[in-house]
Structure 1
Amino acid sequence: MSELSTVLRAWRDRTRPEEVGLPAVPGRRAPGLRREELATLASISVDYIVRLEQGRARHPSAQTVAALARALRLNDEEVDHLYRVAGLASPNGRLVPHHIGPGVRRMVDRLDDVPLAVFTAAWDIVHHNGLWAAISGDPALRQGVDRNVVWRHFTDDFTGVGYDDRHHEEFGEDLVADLRAAHARYPDDPYLTTLVTRLRARSADFDARWGRATMSVHKASRKVMTTPVGPIAVDCDVLTAPGSDLRIVVYTTVPGSEDEQRLELLRVVGTQTLV
C-alpha cells in the first residue's frame, strides 16, 4: 500500500462527521468519515476515493488534492505531505493558497446564520454556506474561471447584485489591486498569471485599471441582492484570515429591518424558486 493511500485512510478515519458539519449518527461502527461522506465533501466520486485508498490511483490532480485537504481539514504540514506523496509540488509559499485551516474552518462554521463565503487571494471561491448560495446564487453551478469574482465582475457584472456607481467604481479598483498584490506575492502561480492575461485581453476596463497600478484596500459596502423573497439590502464586510491569505466575505442586515426578515425567510426557502 502506498503512502498516499495510507494517509488518506488514516485521516479519513480520524475525522469525525460533526467536525465537518455532518450530523453525528448513533451506532456508527467507526467514528470517522465514510467514503461516501468524504466524496460528497470533496466533490469527488466514491469510486475515485476507493481507488486512491486501495493504491490503484496514484497521481491525483492538484485540484483533487486541494479538495481532499479541505474536506479532511488538514493542517499546513499535512497538506505539504499530501501533495508530496501525490507526486505534486507543495503549494505553500509558491502558489495561491486554497487550503482552509482548522481554525478558519471552525470560525466560519460558527457563522452559519449569515451569508458567508471564503475566497483565495485571487478571488476564487473555496467555501460557502447555504445562505450564501441562496442569496448570491449557488457557486456549485459554476465551473472554472466563472467561480472567480474578478472575472465575473469584469465580464459578467454580477446579475442580481445592485449597487451605486461609486461602489461599482471602488469595488473594481479594489479587485484589481487585490489581484496585483496576489500576483506580486505568487509570481510562479500559472493559474494567476493566465487569469490576469485573459482579463486584460477580455476587458478594456480591467486592462486600463491594471495599467494604472492603483493600490487600495477593501472597504465595507452596501449592496442590494435580488432574491426569490424580494430585494435584500446587505452590508458587505471582507475579513482576512491571518497566515492563510484567505478572504472571508460576510453579508449582514440591519437588526429589526425588513431586510433581516427577508433574510430569515430566505433561510427557510433556501435555493428554491418561489412561484
Structure 2
Amino acid sequence: YLARLEQGRAHSPSPSVLGSLARALRLTDGERAHLFRLAGHVEPGPGTINRHITPSLQRLLDRLTDVPVMVVDAAGEVIAANPLANSLMGDLSGASRRERTIPWRHFSGLPSRLERTSEERAEAGEAMAADLRDALGRFPDDEYLNELIADLRDLSPRFAALWQKRPLARTPSRQKTFNHPEIGTITLDCDALAVQGTDLSVIVYTAPAGSPDAEALALLGAIGLQSF
C-alpha cells in the first residue's frame, strides 16, 4: 500500500492508515500533524483517542527485549507488541483491527492462550465493559470506539447486559496464566503503565528472577515467534 501511495496509484488514505504510517516512520507529534494535513484530514482532536506511538515510546519497545511488552489504547486495541509478546500470546500483526482489540476478542470468543476460570472471565468482562464506558465518556467523538461498542452490543448478549448494568471499574488481576504450545503453562505478573501525553498504556509481563516462570520466559525468547 505504501508503494502504491508513493507511485500515486492510491489516493485518500484513511486516518487509520495515516496513523499506521506515522508509527512505522516514527514521526514526532508535529510531523504526524503535518502528514494528516497533507492528506487532507484533520488530526484526531480532544474527543478522539490519541493512538500515536512517539519515537521515545518506540525506542522503549525496541530496548525491552527480554520481557513481553505491548501497547494498548483506550479502546483495548493492541497498537504494538514486541517479538516476545507475539511469541507469548500469538502474533496479531497480520490480524484485522477488530481481532487486535482485546474486548472484541473476549466477547466474540476468539482463540486465546490466556487461561481463566469462569469467575475470572466474568470479572474480566465486567472490567472491559467498565473501561469502554469510561473511554466513551472521555472520547465521545472517536469513530472506532463508538463502532466497537455498538457492534459488541449487537454481538454479545453478555456485553449488552453489562453495558446496561453500568458496572464499576475493577482492578484487574496482576497475574496472568498462559498456556503456550511450546513451553506449557506460564504465570506472569502483569503491570499497566500509562504513557504521559497519550491515551496509551504499556502492558509489561514479568516473572520473579530465578523462578520456573522466568526460566520458561527465557526459553520462549530462545524459541522465537510461533504461529498463533
Q: Same fold (TM over 0.5)?
A: yes
Q: Hey, what's the Cα distance between the residues in 2 that align with 1:232 and 1:156?
A: 22
Instruction: Verify: 1:122 aligned to 2:67, yes or no.
Output: no
Instruction: Verify: 1:212 aligned to 2:161, yes or no.
Output: no
Unaligned runs of 5+ in 1: 1-43
Shift of residue 152 of structure 1? 0.6
Where 1:140 maps in the other structure, the secondary structure is coil
Match of 1:48 in 2: 4
Shift of residue 214 of structure 1? 2.4
Q: Hey, what's the Cα distance between the residues in 2 that align with 1:90 and 1:50?
A: 21
**One of 190, 198, 207 as aligned partner of 1:244:** 198
Where 2:70 maps in the other structure, the secondary structure is strand
Which runs of 4 or more aligned residues in structure 1 lie more than 3 Å from their structure 2 counterparts after TM superposition?
Answer: 164-167, 217-220
Shift of residue 57 of structure 1? 4.8
Kept in 2, the 8 Å contact 1:220–1:238? The answer is: no
Where 2:105 maps in the other structure, the secondary structure is helix
Kept in 2, the 8 Å contact 1:83–1:90? The answer is: yes
Q: 1:131 to 1:149 in 2, by over 3 A?
A: same
RCO higher in structure (CA 8 A, sep ≥6): 2
Shift of residue 158 of structure 1? 4.6
Where 1:183 maps in the other structure, the secondary structure is helix
Q: 1:218 to 1:70 in 2, by over 3 A?
A: farther
Kept in 2, the 8 Å contact 1:155–1:203? The answer is: yes
Q: Hey, what's the Cα distance between the residues in 1 that align with 2:162 and 2:196?
A: 28
Match of 2:47 in 1: 94
Where 1:142 maps in the other structure, the secondary structure is coil
- The superposition leaves residues 59-110 of structure 1 with CA deviations (integer Å, 9 ceiling, x where unpaired) of 2222221111111222222222211110112113232221111232233322
Percent identity, aligned pairs only, is: 37
Where 2:64 maps in the other structure, the secondary structure is coil
Answer with 1 or 2: which has the greater Rg.
1
Where 2:7 maps in the other structure, the secondary structure is helix
Alpha-carbon RMSD: 2.0
Q: 1:177 to 1:244 in 2, by over 3 A?
A: same
Q: Hey, what's the Cα distance between the residues in 2 that align with 1:146 and 1:166?
A: 24
Q: Hey, what's the Cα distance between the residues in 1 that align with 2:111 and 2:201?
A: 19
Match of 1:231 in 2: 185
Q: Hey, what's the Cα distance between the residues in 1 that align with 2:225 and 2:61?
A: 20
Kept in 1, the 8 Å contact 2:5–2:11? The answer is: no
**One of 123, 126, 135 as aligned partner of 1:182:** 135
Kept in 2, the 8 Å contact 1:225–1:232? The answer is: yes
Kept in 2, the 8 Å contact 1:131–1:266? The answer is: yes
- Counterparts of residues 11-26 of structure 1 (less than 5 Å): none
Shift of residue 118 of structure 1? 0.4
Q: Hey, what's the Cα distance between the residues in 2 that align with 1:58 and 1:49?
A: 7
Q: What TM-score does the superposition give when structure 1 sets the normalisation length?
A: 0.76
Match of 1:30 in 2: none
Q: 1:57 to 1:152 in 2, by over 3 A?
A: closer
Q: Which amino acid aligns with 1:226?
A: N
Q: After the TM superposition, which of the residue ranges 126-135 and 252-261 deviates more from structure 2?
A: 252-261
Where 1:226 maps in the other structure, the secondary structure is strand
**One of 6, 10, 28 as aligned partner of 1:75:** 28
Q: What TM-score does the superposition give when structure 2 sets the normalisation length?
A: 0.90
Where 1:180 maps in the other structure, the secondary structure is helix
Match of 2:151 in 1: 198
**One of 203, 206, 213 as aligned partner of 1:259:** 213
Q: Hey, what's the Cα distance between the residues in 1 that align with 2:89 and 2:77?
A: 15
Unaligned runs of 5+ in 2: none
